[in-house]
Amino acid sequence: MKFFVDTAEIDQIKELHALGMVDGVTTNPSLIAKSGRDILEVTKEICDIVDGPVSAEVVALDADTMLAEGRKLAKIADNIAVKVPLTWAGLQTCKALSDEGTMVNVTLCFSANQALLAAKAGATFISPFIGRLDDINLDGLELIEDIRTIYDNYGFETQILAASIRSANHMSGCAKIGADVATAPPAVIKNMANHVLTDKGLAGFMADVEKAGIKIL
């Protein structure tokens, strides 16, 4: 499973990229606003760091303006994936951009039917939101599983990009189901390394090291 990092913070991207933990980056208007930087400027900088897809989201709601924004974003770098919402206008934009050879990430997906439409429209990525479904007592991972079944049934090439990931358990759950990509905040990716038994074992080792006076350097 590929890891995309969900942030527009350059230092966080560089840190994870140095460890080989970044296969791509996803951004959205909220993350751009949090960074306090111009969307075109920060997106270009991210694309210079990361070789994989970098999702940059349109902000218009109508298809014509979405398409114009998408074309402008696509000019930033060859690895831009234009991000559009899963609305009818977003699907129209997806179809036009994908026909032009631009990668498209269709976001805010909450149902298998929506994911099927996005694949038919030529989406490169579909972004089902796990955490937001969990928030309203629905099973976000079940949606990932449903989309995986449908796409495999018909050979759709659209990649499942699991989004709105809140925990390390979400990450392993997506990997078990067969999501192609999971995008998560840097903190969630780092938390995947944590386990109480690892901490307990390390504490025991260090106590023995101190007691025995073991030194390597």
Give the domain CATH number at 95: 3.20.20.70
Residue 216 lies in a domain: no
Answer yes or no: 83 catalytic.
yes
Residues of the chain below pLDDT 50: none
pLDDT at 92: 98
pLDDT at 192: 96
The total number of structural domains that make up the chain: 1
Residue 202 lies in a domain: no
pLDDT at 121: 98
Residue 18 lies in a domain: yes
pLDDT at 124: 98
pLDDT at 197: 97
Residue 13 lies in a domain: yes
Phi, psi at 57, each rounded to 5°: -100, 140
pLDDT at 70: 98
For the chain, give percent helix, strand, coil, nearest 5. Answer: 55, 20, 30
Residue 208 lies in a domain: no
Among 83, 95, 176, 200, the one annotated catalytic: 83
pLDDT at 81: 98
Residue 129 lies in a domain: yes
Determine the Cα–Cα distance for residues 170 and 156; give it in Å rounded to an integer.
24
Is residue 76 within 8 Å of residue 40, measured between CB atoms?
yes
Query: What is the residue range of 9's domain?
Result: 2-192
Residue 71 lies in a domain: yes
- Enter the pTM of the model: 0.94
pLDDT at 105: 98
Is residue 38 within 8 Å of residue 73, measured between CB atoms?
no
Both structure tokens of 206: 């260090």
Both structure tokens of 91: 């699907």
